[in-house]
Amino acid sequence: MQKRPFPYEIDEILGVRDLRKVLALLQKSDDPFIQQVALLTLSNNANYSCNQDTIRKLGGLPIIANMINKTDPHIKEKALMAMNNLSENYENQGRLQVYMNKVMDDIMASNLNSAVQVVGLKFLTNMTITNDYQHLLVNSIANFFRLLSQGGGKIKVEILKILSNFAENPDMLKKLLSTQVPSSFSSLYNSYVESEILINALTLFEIIYDNLRAEVFNYREFNKGSLFYLCTTSGVCVKKIRALADHHDLLVKVKVIKLVDKF
In this structure, are 136 and 95 located in the same domain?
no
Q: How far apart are CA 17 and CA 133, in angstroms?
A: 32
For 12, 65, 133, 154, the CA distances from 128, given in Å and listed in that order, are 30, 18, 6, 17
What is the average pLDDT across 87-108?
98
- pLDDT score of 124: 99
Q: How far apart are CA 166 and CA 191, in angstroms?
A: 25
- pLDDT score of 12: 74
In this structure, are 144 and 258 located in the same domain?
yes
The verdict on residue 109 lying in a domain is no
Q: What's the pLDDT tens digit per position in 219-247?
A: 788 888 899 988 887 778 999 999 999 99
Kindly indicate the confidence band of residue 9, based on its pLDDT and cuts at 50, 70 and 90. Answer: low
- pLDDT score of 6: 60
Residue-range definition of the domain harbouring residue 98:
15-103
Mapped onto helix, strand or coil, the DSSP state of residue 29 is coil
In this structure, are 241 and 157 located in the same domain?
yes
Q: How far apart are CA 241 and CA 178, in angstroms?
A: 21
In this structure, are 252 and 204 located in the same domain?
yes
In this structure, are 149 and 247 located in the same domain?
yes
Q: How far apart are CA 131 and CA 166, in angstroms?
A: 8
What is the average pLDDT across 88-96?
98
* 68 has pLDDT over 90: yes
Secondary structure of 100-169 in the HEC alphabet?
Answer: HHHHHHHHHHCCCCCHHHHHHHHHHHHHCCCCCCHHHHHHHHHHHHHHHHHCCHHHHHHHHHHHHHHHCC
Nearest of 13, 8, 44, 43 to residue 25 by alpha carbon? 8
Biggest CA-to-CA distance, the chain: 69
In this structure, are 151 and 254 located in the same domain?
yes
Half-sphere exposure of 45 (CA within 13 A, CB side): 29
In this structure, are 251 and 191 located in the same domain?
yes
Secondary structure of 76-109 in the HEC alphabet?
Answer: HHHHHHHHHHHCCCHHHHHHHHHHHHHHHHHHHH
CATH number, domain at 177? 1.25.10.10
The verdict on residue 43 lying in a domain is yes
Lowest-confidence range among 31-45, 119-133, 140-154, 233-247? 233-247
Q: How far apart are CA 226 and CA 200, in angstroms?
A: 20
* 41 has pLDDT over 90: yes
What total number of domains does the chain contain? 2
The verdict on residue 133 lying in a domain is yes
In this structure, are 187 and 247 located in the same domain?
yes
Kindly indicate the confidence band of residue 1, based on its pLDDT and cuts at 50, 70 and 90. Answer: very low
In this structure, are 137 and 53 located in the same domain?
no
In this structure, are 92 and 162 located in the same domain?
no
* 65 has pLDDT over 60: yes
- Positive or negative, the CA dihedral 132, 135, 137, 140 is positive
- pLDDT score of 2: 40
DSSP string, 164-187: HHHHT-HHHHHHHHHSB--GGGGG
In this structure, are 209 and 151 located in the same domain?
yes
Please give the residue that has the higher pLDDT: either 84 or 234: 84
In this structure, are 146 and 91 located in the same domain?
no
- pLDDT score of 221: 84
Q: What's the pLDDT tens digit per position in 159-217?
A: 999 999 999 999 999 999 999 999 899 999 999 999 999 999 999 999 999 988 887 77
The verdict on residue 149 lying in a domain is yes
